[in-house]
């Protein structure tokens, strides 16, 4: 496994690893490919009415077209990120973007549901690891003072890409058919993948294991890793909370275009525009509530987790009322927008909490664990489960019922709040002992790795 080396003091440098124009060209390409990633991922939700009409698909089958990508991404993210560290991030991203773009293009030639499902799975295979590898490239090329801003912009591109995917899919499908929609977003992605070969990479060095942790058995290493990540209960409770809330988020994202089409008689393009505004409210909410969480946690860190308890319960109340109550069309849409603004409150808080209770040497792995929970137990479940309920009781009831899962998220955040400050103190104590050269009393917390650079 490799660790980044932008320069002899990569993590502390105030300089660019390459010339400033080349670094900013790299960021522009990374940002554009993140847009392409989520456009290709989300475009299918605006095509549900067309696919249902042409092939007579159930809502469960439609939801699976979204969920399959999250399953593949969850399973493959960590190994792909490790491969990218070894063989180079630029080459790896070129391969990833080429695969997901060609798979998106292949969707336009699908002749039945099985072929389309297989193509969507390959889209997920291409997108696997891009978030981790792209953020590593940003981190390695730019000065530390710009990392938070640029990584925030990088991940904000996912929400913007989701908005564009929903809007473009509906508009193109209404004029030229659903097959053209896949081609219209797939070919530009392939062109960007080729252009990405001009992006500079940064050098890597080998990370060595300390002799006392080396073992021929991967089981011993994984056991040590599990102990280190679960020594305090906060990490697992927060991962569960984030996953539960993402079930709600992914359901709303996947099914609002179809809801507006079926219950309000909108054509695909109009329904897509209405749904895109919901996603945009989600993006604004994620930024706003992240800022609020930072403010209220200055007095006591646990306050942000207690705030998540309140906000997730509030999102449940608003969304359930929006879809279950007898409201006018305008009031219902306003409540859906408000629900979207509330339901993404957890996005920034879950990530920051995981990083704060994970040893600095394991933060990348802690983030990978969070990504696994979010994709496999959150994003993958929502669209499929929503379709399953819709087939039995109707889409309106599905969208009213699934927000109740936010109650489980609130419970998990409350549990995490009880241990959060103690776990933060435990990590700080271990880091302090290591810095002073003292024996680490809680050795389960630390997976002893050494790199050739600090």
* pLDDT tens digits for range 120-158: 999 999 888 787 778 778 877 888 777 656 776 777 788
Q: Is the pLDDT of residue 333 over 50?
A: yes
**Residue 451, CB-side half-sphere exposure with 13 Å CA sphere:** 17
> How confident is residue 241, by pLDDT bands cut at 50, 70 and 90?
very high
Token reading at 236: 């697992």
Q: Is the pLDDT of residue 452 over 50?
A: no
Handedness of CA 336, 342, 346, 352 (dihedral sign): positive
- Which pLDDT tens digit goes with each residue over 369-385? 788 888 889 999 999 99
Q: Over pLDDT 70: what percentage of the chain?
A: 82
**C-alpha to C-alpha distances, 85 to 79, 81, 93, 372, 375, nearest whole angstrom:** 10, 6, 11, 19, 22
> How confident is residue 240, by pLDDT bands cut at 50, 70 and 90?
very high
For residue 326, the Cα-to-chain-centroid distance in whole angstroms is 34
pLDDT at 13: 45
Q: Is the pLDDT of residue 274 over 60?
A: yes
pLDDT at 122: 95
Which phi and psi (to 5°) does residue 13 adopt?
-70, 145
> How confident is residue 8, by pLDDT bands cut at 50, 70 and 90?
very low
> How confident is residue 269, by pLDDT bands cut at 50, 70 and 90?
confident
pLDDT at 294: 83
pLDDT at 17: 80
Token reading at 438: 């003292």
Token reading at 110: 């699908």
pLDDT at 220: 60
Least confident of 72-76, 204-208, 231-235: 204-208
Q: pTM for the complete prediction?
A: 0.79
Question: Averaged over 58-66, what is the pLDDT?
Answer: 94
Structural domains in the chain, sorted by start = 1-208 (1.20.1250.20), 223-436 (1.20.1250.20)
pLDDT at 243: 95
- Which pLDDT tens digit goes with each residue over 414-442? 999 999 988 888 878 877 777 777 655 55
Residue of 55 and 363 predicted with greater confidence? 55
Q: Are 48 and 257 in contact (CB under 8 A)?
A: yes
Q: Over pLDDT 90: what percentage of the chain?
A: 50
- Which pLDDT tens digit goes with each residue over 96-118? 999 999 999 999 999 999 999 99
| 29, 32, 37, 38 alpha-carbon torsion, rounded to 10° | 160
* Distance of alpha carbon 342 from alpha carbon 296, whole angstroms: 17
Q: Is the pLDDT of residue 20 over 60?
A: yes
pLDDT at 444: 47
Question: Averaged over 2-27, what is the pLDDT?
Answer: 64
Closest CA to 225 of 423, 74, 365: 365
> How confident is residue 203, by pLDDT bands cut at 50, 70 and 90?
low
What angle do helix axes 381-393 and 234-263 make, rounded to 10 degrees?
40
pLDDT at 1: 34
- Which pLDDT tens digit goes with each residue over 150-167? 776 777 788 889 889 988
Residue-averaged pLDDT of the chain: 83
**Residue 322, CB-side half-sphere exposure with 13 Å CA sphere:** 27
Closest CA to 343 of 305, 322, 316, 321: 316
* Distance of alpha carbon 395 from alpha carbon 34, whole angstroms: 30
Question: Averaged over 39-43, what is the pLDDT?
Answer: 92
What is the bridge-based pairing of β-strands 203-209 and 2-5? Answer: antiparallel
**C-alpha to C-alpha distances, 96 to 44, 73, 75, 124, nearest whole angstrom:** 19, 12, 15, 10
* Contacts of 214-222 spanning 24+ positions with Cβ under 8 A: none
* Distance of alpha carbon 141 from alpha carbon 89, whole angstroms: 12
Q: Are 315 and 345 in contact (CB under 8 A)?
A: yes
What is the bridge-based pairing of β-strands 449-451 and 203-209? Answer: antiparallel
Question: Averaged over 287-295, what is the pLDDT?
Answer: 85
């Amino acid at each position: 496994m490799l660790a980044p080396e932008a320069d002899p003091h990569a993590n502390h440098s105030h300089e660019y690893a390459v010339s400033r124009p080349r670094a900013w060209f790299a960021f522009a390409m990374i940002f554009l490919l993140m847009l392409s990633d989520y456009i290709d991922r989300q475009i299918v939700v605006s095509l549900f009415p067309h696919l249902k009409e042409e092939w007579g698909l159930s809502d469960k089958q439609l939801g699976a077209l979204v969920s399959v990508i999250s399953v593949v991404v969850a399973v493959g993210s960590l190994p792909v990120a490790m491969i990218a560290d070894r063989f180079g991030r630029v080459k790896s991203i070129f391969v990833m973007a080429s695969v997901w773009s060609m798979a998106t293009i292949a969707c336009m030639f699908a002749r039945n549901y099985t072929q389309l499902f297989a193509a969507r799975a390959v889209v997920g295979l291409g997108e696997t690891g891009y978030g981790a590898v792209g953020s590593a490239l940003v981190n390695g090329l730019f000065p530390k003072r710009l990392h938070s801003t640029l990584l925030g912009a990088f991940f904000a591109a996912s929400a913007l890409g989701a908005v564009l995917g929903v809007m473009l899919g509906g508009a193109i499908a209404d004029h030229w058919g659903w097959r053209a929609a896949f081609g219209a977003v797939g070919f530009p992605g392939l062109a960007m993948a080729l252009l990405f070969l001009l992006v500079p990479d940064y050098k890597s060095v080998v990370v060595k294991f300390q002799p006392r942790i080396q073992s021929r058995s991967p089981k011993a290493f994984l056991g040590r890793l599990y102990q280190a990540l679960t020594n305090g209960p906060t990490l697992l409770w927060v991962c569960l909370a984030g996953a539960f809330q993402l079930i709600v988020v992914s359901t709303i994202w996947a099914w609002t275009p179809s809801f507006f089409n079926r219950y309000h008689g909108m054509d695909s393009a109009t329904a897509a525009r209405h749904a895109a505004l919901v996603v945009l409210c989600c993006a604004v909410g994620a930024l706003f509530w992240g800022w609020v969480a930072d403010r209220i946690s200055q007095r006591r860190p646990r306050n942000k987790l207690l705030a998540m308890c309140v906000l997730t319960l509030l999102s449940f109340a608003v969304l359930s009322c929006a879809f279950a109550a007898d409201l006018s069309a305008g009031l219902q849409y306003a409540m859906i927008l408000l629900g979207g603004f509330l339901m993404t409150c957890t996005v920034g808080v879950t990530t920051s909490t995981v990083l704060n209770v994970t040893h600095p040497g394991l933060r990348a792995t802690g983030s990978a664990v969070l990504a696994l929970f979010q994709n496999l137990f959150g994003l993958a479940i929502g669209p499929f489960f929503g379709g399953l309920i819709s087939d039995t009781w109707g889409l309106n009831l599905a969208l009213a019922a699934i927000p109740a899962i936010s109650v489980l998220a609130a419970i998990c955040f409350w549990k995490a709040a009880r241990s959060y400050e103690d776990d933060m103190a435990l990590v700080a104590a271990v880091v302090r002992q290591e810095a002073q050269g003292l024996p680490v009393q809680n050795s389960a917390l630390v997976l002893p790795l050494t790199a050739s650079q600090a």
